[in-house]
Amino acid sequence: MTSSTHPPRSSTVRAGLAGVAAAAVAVGLAEVVAAFTGPQSSPLLAVGAVVVDTVPGPVKDLAIAVFGTHDKTALITGTVVLLAGYAAAVGILALRSWRLALGGVALFTAIGVVAALTRHDAGPAAALPSVVAGVVAAAALRYLVDRATFADPVDDGRRRFLIAAGVAAAAGVAGGVVGRYLTSRRAVTAARKAVVLPQPAQAVPTVPPGAQVEGATAYVTSTRDFYRIDTSLYPPQIDPSTWQLRIHGMVRNPLTITWEQLLQRPMISRYVTLACVSNEVGGDLIGNALWLGTPVQALLDEAQPLPEADQVVSRSADGWTCGTPTSVLRDGRDALLAVGMNGRPLTVPHGFPVRMVVPGLYGYVSACKWITEIELTRFADFDAYWVPRGWAARGPIKTQSRIDTPRDGARRGPGTVTVAGVAWAQHRGITKVELQVDDQPWAPATLAPAVSADTWVQWSYQWQAPPGDHTLRVRATDTDGQTQTSTPAPPAPDGATGWHTVQLTID
Ligand SMILES: Nc1nc2c(c(=O)[nH]1)N[C@H]1C(S)=C(S)[C@@H](COP(=O)(O)O)O[C@H]1N2
Ligand SMILES: [Mo]
């Protein structure tokens, strides 16, 4: 065998593996520590959260467009892949210079510490998981790289190295699993199960017969199918017994209410269709649920906002904020502090124990989940979370419509085809939906009954379909007489516009 001053290639590969294994055991143990210091302090989640907070609106939009509501999984996967690449590089670096490798570990530790400490409400303990990860990574790296370089293939050093690296990686995975398990035991699942929802003061609205058109999406969206959009990588776990809502700022009468006090307030139940501003034309970031809650207006009346306070800022337990016009919340519409969704307590991802629901506004300016604070202020004085990220301060829902059947690209036999879908202009209401086949004149569709103007409405059209390739377009008109514009606009800054169009073949 020839000797060389350069490390042989095989030890370079082993050093890379050593780096990845050291990172694995470090990050895994950090997950165990984070089970005690809080999920937001996990270096993986904290770094992911910083990425979420720093991406501009259009990038967030792209992520939602590509990954849909799996954007969070994609983010964490991406973070893990990047970390593995970085760790391999640090391992290889360790062959040349242990000091530089230590610097690499220190940098990684510092990123974790800073990310965790800058999370909302983070105490000094939030740094602990990252610090533990850094120390463990350095020790494991030293141990493994030593074994990687002295792994002479003629003795069983290589085998010993692989076993050591395998043990480290397995310990990392085990740490991850144990950490997740410990975290899940601190979840508020049991507290949620124990909640008994109060009865509404008025009768529950009934869905009129015929509201559901065959082939269209469900008129009432099940909680399981309801879209979920938020910035939270691990939803806040709030025990109702400790929950409080503070109403303060530009008010004459600041007040704080507990969960018990909230449940004693008059409750109403209302169907309200919630929509996300990121919804593309034809998209499915929209759902209709039965919400149980207490009117926001009465609470605001008690707090007595000052006349200049034109913005109500809602703040969630994890520091997210949204700004709602005070005038909208006091104009008599059924804006709710909701505790129930479809007859059950809110689920944790949908805001347990309390969230806001406001008919007629996009979620990002109104539907604060895990709400703990309401501050009266002015639009001129405070920008809520999405505003500096490129979204409009005010977000009334734009009139929209969607073709649910047939699907784009469908093939059908000739004869009568039922074209059906949904249309929405929450709180204003839909007066007309029209369908256009190819370049023919717009024809009125049949509108199904809806519970109220606060929900979407279903529509249908019986189409005598001749053979050939066809294009179907839909547009809706609201009670203000406004017909949807044909001009396409992206979701940012204040909601997508354009006509939903599907192409199909009749043969
Ligand atoms: N705390 C908190 N509340 C939030 C958000 C968030 O990121 N954090 N996102 C808002 C947005 S953009 C929308 S569209 C709705 C979605 O509510 P859902 O996930 O229950 O459908 O929640 C709103 N409330
Ligand atoms: Mo949204």
Query: Quick check: is 218 in a domain?
Result: no
**Which among 152, 185, 218 is the end of a domain?**
185
Distance 367 CA to ligand 2 centre (A): 9
Query: Quick check: is 23 in a domain?
Result: yes
**Which among 139, 166, 185 is the end of a domain?**
185
Query: Quick check: is 343 in a domain?
Result: no
Nearest ligand to the CA atom of 357: 1
- Cβ of 212 less than 6 Å from ligand 1: no
pTM for the structure as a whole: 0.91
Query: Quick check: is 234 in a domain?
Result: no
pLDDT of the chain, 507 residues: tens digit per residue: 344 456 667 789 999 999 999 999 999 999 999 999 998 999 999 999 988 888 777 777 778 777 777 788 888 888 899 999 999 999 999 999 999 999 999 999 999 999 999 998 899 999 999 999 999 999 999 999 988 876 565 667 888 899 999 999 999 999 999 999 999 888 899 999 999 999 999 999 999 999 999 989 999 999 999 999 999 999 999 999 999 999 999 999 999 999 999 999 999 999 999 999 999 999 999 999 999 999 999 999 999 999 999 999 999 999 999 999 999 999 999 999 999 999 999 999 999 999 999 999 999 999 999 999 999 999 999 999 999 988 999 999 999 999 999 999 999 999 999 999 999 999 999 999 999 999 999 999 999 999 999 999 999 999 999 999 999 999 999 999 999 999 999 999 999 999 999 999 999
- The best mutation among 60, 237, 369, 397 to test binding of ligand 1, ranked by most ligand atoms within 8 Å of the C-beta, falls on 369
Query: Quick check: is 256 in a domain?
Result: no
Nearest CA to ligand 1 atom 6: 230
- The best mutation among 364, 373, 385, 391 to test binding of ligand 1, ranked by most ligand atoms within 8 Å of the C-beta, falls on 364
- Cβ of 276 less than 6 Å from ligand 1: yes
Which of 22, 49, 34, 31 lies closest to 230 in space, CA to CA? 49
Atom of ligand 1 nearest to the CA of 277: 14
Residue carrying structure tokens 């004693």:
264
Domain that residue 54 falls in: 9-185
**Which among 185, 211, 235 is the end of a domain?**
185
Query: Quick check: is 237 in a domain?
Result: no
Nearest CA to ligand 1 atom 5: 230
- Cβ of 243 less than 6 Å from ligand 1: no
Angle, helix 157-185 to helix 128-149, in steps of 10 degrees: 170
Nearest ligand to the CA atom of 226: 1
Q: In the chain, how many domains are there?
A: 2
Atom of ligand 1 nearest to the CA of 369: 3
Q: CA–CA distance from 31 to each of 128, 137, 189, 234 (Å)?
A: 11, 14, 20, 13
CATH number, residue 431: 2.60.40.650
Burial label, 155 (beta-carbon count in 10 A; 0-12, 13-18, 19+): exposed
Paired tokens of 8: 């042989």
Query: Quick check: is 446 in a domain?
Result: yes
- Cβ of 226 less than 6 Å from ligand 1: yes
Per DSSP, helices labelled H in 118-195 are 128-149, 157-185, 189-193
Nearest ligand to the CA atom of 277: 2
Dist CA 38 CA 45 (whole Å): 11
Query: Quick check: is 416 in a domain?
Result: yes
